[in-house]
Amino acid sequence: MSKFTVLIPYNFTRNDQKALDFVKNLFADRPNTEITLFNAYVPVPAVEVRGSPIMDKVDQNLTFLSQKIREQEQALETAKQFLVNAGFTEKQVHTVFEPKKKDVAGSIINQAITGKYNVVVLNRKFGKIGRFFTGSVFNKVTVGLQNTTICIVS
């Protein structure tokens, strides 16, 4: 039996939980399915601090951001545990938590192509006017991934 792979871009929102529920309901009883939870985060820049009071404040802010990144990584592991508790084995569920190299859509597309996933499960948010100008992740990913099944959870 061949392996069936599912990529879930995960960004710690309520809609992401809906995507997890969808995958749980659809694939939990299929032992040949592997799930990957993917998050591309904005890395904290390296800044040299030289004892200046202003730079000390910057350093405190960077430390705070680093802590938030660690919390997100832990939240991704919590999402993995949700799927394991739903019936998947530890070997079936993987996490990829990596610094964002491009925009979010580009990172998802790159992960989907390099990982050769059968299905990408996206969620869709409606109504933000900013997406009119920048394009939504949803639109960019659906256009950028050819020959890949994309499930939209809303």
Contacts for 111 with CB less than 8 Å, ≥ 6 apart: 7, 9, 36, 38, 40, 96, 117
Whether residue 34 contacts residue 2, with contact meaning beta carbons closer than 8 Å, is answered with no
Phi/psi for 89 (5° steps) reads -90, 165
Q: What is the pLDDT of residues 71-117, one digit of tens each?
A: 999 999 999 999 999 999 999 999 999 998 878 899 999 999 999 99
Q: What is the pLDDT of residues 104-143, one digit of tens each?
A: 899 999 999 999 999 999 987 665 544 444 467 888 888 8
Rounded to 5 degrees, φ, ψ at 104 are -60, -45
- What pTM was computed for the model? 0.85
Whether residue 52 is predicted with pLDDT greater than 90 in this model: the reply is no
